[in-house]
Amino acid sequence: MKPSRDWIIALALFSSFTMLAPVAVHAQDEAAAATDPAPAGISGTVLDVNGGGVPGAQITLTNTSTLQQQTLVAGGNGEFAFTNLPPGTYSITVNAKAFDPYTSAEFTISIGQVYEISSIQLSIAPQKQMIVVRPTEVIAQMQLKAQEKQRFIGVLPNFYTSYVWNAAPLKTRQKFSLSARDIFDPGTLLGVAEAAGVEQANNKFAGYGQGAAGYGKRFAAGSADRLIDGFLGQAVFPSILHQDPRYFYQGSGSVKSRLAHALSWAVTLRSDRGHSVPNYSYLLGDLSAGAISNLYYPRSSRGAGLVFTNFAIGVAARAGNGVFREFVVKHLTRNVPANGKS
């Protein structure tokens, strides 16, 4: 039986359709590819000033059109790569510890392009030093606390020697505080007790008599002398006259210059502004204390002679004390914070 003409025509049309279908699908794929461009990428390396990689550097990529950002961390050799990026205009910022920040100029990448950034070289950040500025009064208080730990042979107070040559000046409150700490220190009272014993043995100020009563009177008089002279010479007059009652240890230079410096303490002091001035504070303190001592010393010992004798003893003792502080005391004092004039 022969196929009919209509059947042959239908078979031919079906064959033509099956041959054209793959061509149409392929054309559709090409059209889709044209509307969905291949993603782009950016890569580069972060280097230090010596050309070595900077691992751990933080790289931030910014699309300057959309302001969208991506951040990643550089690899072991400073390398990095951003992938799957749409075409557009970008910039890169790099931050790394101990280096100045880096920001690139804007650049444009096109469809499917892998943009290679020339090596990014970071500059070392300048060292930043923090300087703490404290008020002068605070510095003086810190230095004063250190002074109040100084003890000759671990027992006697050595509070009035400053081993910091350029120590901050003391405020009035600090001058009174240091004076009180020195006067009422057990080591000071021990020295007064020893001096009273020597006077007792030599029967000095015979009007006090002997025995326990005589010793008690000598000890009381010595304590009063120390109290009055100390407060007047080390606190009251230094505050009024703006003078520093401390001895400033020199510790360097020739023996002659150090000796001159030590002896000068009897007649000169440092002002609160750091200048050398006449030692009015101690001199007035000695004279005033000597005049007041006429109220409690034995009647037979009173008078102008007592005043000027004690004044002369005070000046001479201070000169000798300065020499002792300059050449001996430091080596036998605990908690010395510095080493004098540089």
Mean pLDDT across 23-49: 66
Q: What is the pLDDT of residues 119-177, one digit of tens each?
A: 799 998 887 666 666 678 899 999 999 999 999 999 999 999 999 999 999 999 999 99
Do 106 and 168 fall within a single domain?
no
Q: What is the pLDDT of residues 207-262, one digit of tens each?
A: 999 999 999 999 999 999 999 999 999 999 999 999 999 999 999 999 999 999 99
Domain of 87, in residue numbers: 40-121
Domain-terminating residue out of 94, 121, 148: 121
Do 87 and 141 fall within a single domain?
no
- The pLDDT-based confidence of 33 (bands split at 50, 70, 90) is very low
Burial class (CB in 10 A: 0-12, 13-18, 19+), 65: exposed
Do 258 and 329 fall within a single domain?
yes
Do 183 and 247 fall within a single domain?
yes
Do 187 and 158 fall within a single domain?
yes
Query: Does 12 map to a domain?
Result: no
Q: What is the pLDDT of residues 310-330, one digit of tens each?
A: 888 888 999 999 999 999 999
Mean pLDDT across 57-80: 93
Q: How many domains does the chain have?
A: 2
Do 233 and 186 fall within a single domain?
yes
Domain-terminating residue out of 121, 151, 170: 121
Residue type, 173: R
- The full DSSP string for 298-327 is -GGG-SHHHHHHHHHHHHHHHHHHHHHHHH
Sign of CA dihedral 200, 206, 208, 210: positive
Query: Does 59 map to a domain?
Result: yes
Domain-terminating residue out of 68, 86, 121: 121
Do 303 and 259 fall within a single domain?
yes
